[in-house]
Structure 1
């Protein structure tokens, strides 16, 4: 039931590796204690998971991915930083292989948009979190940029279309609290917030625009959209060129607003 439209190629993992607990989970950090037992679903290369384990140094973190591809890199990251209270394994968000009431915190970041049944996933997350524990989710909602850029416009249109066609729910941050309610969380126990990313200085533009441009040139996404007729090689080149223009424009910036929820069981 995963509908992820790309893979874990170098350009994709470059984006995921940039994510840390500080820049991607600030809304959750006040609730992590030294003894927290945490499940990080969709952990990718482990950059957020390892940060969680560092904060919960007397607790434990389990990171899961639906495929094994990025988990070797996640284990290497933990080992290189001397983090031992962590493990990584393959798992399915729709059918979590853990007993009821196992974790203090269950976390997802930019995951619900890539699966076919986010309500079922949140029900599973609710099942495995302890009474009084927290289910946390953060998903993209809206994007904006300057200056106008035809390549980036095409990128957003294409990625949104492909995500929907594959059965996903692109950029659902504005409504994840509604899914949580359908999954069984009481409205009074759902805390809503927003968080944002902004890429504007030369280093940030090079990171964000460079990785997005590389995805358009060579990644599972590029292969999927050309082989299945969503876009032509020429259109992907236009997208890649658009991201290069963004990187090179001194006044350029890209902003992304995320919706966030904390749900207490």
Structure 2
């Protein structure tokens, strides 16, 4: 196998506004499609674990097993390890690595999963091939990805549409695919997986505090995270454009009847 490392740029980075969203994620709200398949003594690999909230949560579902969280940036792993220690979770470790070339033997894990990763990589099929390689025969490859083109919100506005258009441009400039959710089953087939079960689920924000949280983090993310820096450096937007997008998010968040739904595609692939 030819050595390969990730060439796409992670659109969001790990700014505080991004981590506020990532640390909200749990096994229940982000991996419910996988939970029925877990057994207490399984060995799991969570690719792109970020701050580790899903990883740490999943550890409780495999009390006699073990889970490894893998991330390609060391900084956020410090936060993940601190969370595991705070929660007293011992059947877990966090490692630095690149999913394009996993440093594990064939058939090393019962379950290999990733959440919101394939939308940010140059070659999702390659990563699925690696996930398949390190999964045991009879094991599972599991993926969940959002689909920005299928996000739905109320009330509608031209400004919110402009935000989505810009997000598509920035992510694709970085080498990713923002509408990954709808493509997972096709990528899995290209990776050589054959027993593929598809599903979809949503995050839905409707309560006042949820809307304030969601709109606020996106307003901040637009101007303060790597997203905004890339948009300006790539000449996809000006600082004024980004300021306008942030204002749009805040105005939308102040709407009495604001509502937002985030669609995700999901696949469970049994390796034969």
Sort the TM-score into its range (normalised by shorter chain): over 0.9
Match of 2:166 in 1: 158
The match for 1:170 is: 178
* Matches of 2:92 and 2:53, distance apart in 1: 12
- Which of 236, 243, 250 is 2:242 aligned to? 236
The one-character-per-residue Cα deviations of 1:221-255 (angstroms, maximum 9, x if unpaired) are 11121122111111111111111112211200011
Map 1:74-113 onto structure 2 (within 5 A). Answer: 74-113=80-119
List gaps (5 residues or longer) in structure 1. Answer: none
Q: Is the 8 A contact 1:45 1:70 kept in 2?
A: yes
Counterparts of 2:154 and 2:174 in 1: how far apart (Å)?
Answer: 29
The question of 1:145 aligning with 2:158 is answered: no
Q: 1:37 aligns with which of 26, 34, 43?
A: 43
* Contact 1:151/1:240 (<8 A) preserved: no
Query: Separation in 2 of the partners of 1:104 and 1:246?
Result: 44
TM-score scaled by length of structure 2: 0.94
Task: Indicate conservation of the 8 Å contact 2:170/2:227, yes or no.
Answer: no
Q: How much does 1:175 deviate?
A: 1.5
SS at 1:148 equivalent: coil
Correspondence 1:58 to 2:64: yes
Corresponding residue number in structure 1 for 2:3: none
Say how many residue pairs are matched: 263
CA RMSD of superposed structures (Å)? 1.0
CA distance in 2, matches of 1:204, 1:223: 26
Q: Is the 8 A contact 2:170 2:230 kept in 1?
A: no
2:68 and 2:137 mapped to 1: Cα distance?
19
